[in-house]
Amino acid sequence: MNSENLQIISDMLLMAKADNHLHEREYDFILMVAKRMGISKDEVDALVKSPQDKMVYKTEMQRLTQFHRLLLVMNVDEETQFVEIDTLRNYGLKLGIRAEAVQQILSEMGDYEHKMIPSHRLVEIFRRFYN
């Protein structure tokens, strides 16, 4: 099994559980992503119980993509808690994403339906801060 894919799912689960509850919509979304990566439900359930804690994202694109996935997980249940926002902010910083870019994204979330910032807008934000 690809350890990078397991890390992606593990990070998504940690984001989903930031509010101390794994909502069904979050779990279903994560299962859907895992299935596309060739990760079974049993493997996801094992990560729920015992998450990985090692970051393995080597390229900037991998880090930005993972940040976007975590943003989607945070908003999929349509209940954004402060602790989730704080967790996402900290993940972004750990991923090496500039604090200004993270803050811009968090500030703009409310401007979009279901707080889902379109991917093209995320790219614009990242380009602004990385060029």
pLDDT tens-digit series, residues 76-121: 777 777 888 888 899 888 888 889 988 998 888 888 887 888 888 8
Q: Does residue 130 surpass a pLDDT of 80? A: no
Read off the tokens for 105: 């994204």
* Tokens 């934000």 belong to residue: 125
Structural domain of 120: 3-130
The tally of domains found in the chain comes to 1
pLDDT, average across residues 11-23: 88
Query: Which CATH number does the domain housing residue 54 bear?
Result: 1.10.3680
pLDDT in tens, 45-85: 999 998 887 676 788 888 888 888 888 888 877 777 788 88
DSSP secondary structure letter of residue 50 = S
Burial class of residue 46 (count of CB atoms within 10 Å of its CB; 0-12, 13-18, 19+):
middle
Ramachandran bin of 5, using left for φ above 0, alpha for ψ from -120 to 50, beta for the remaining angles = alpha
Read off the tokens for 52: 């990985």
Residues in the chain: 131
| Dist CA 76 CA 107 (whole Å) | 17
- The answer to whether 55 touches 14, Cβ cutoff 8 Å, is no
pLDDT-derived band at 131 (thresholds 50, 70, 90) equals low
- The answer to whether 6 touches 47, Cβ cutoff 8 Å, is yes
pLDDT of residue 48: 93
- Please state the φ and ψ torsions of residue 100, each to the nearest 5 degrees: -65, -40
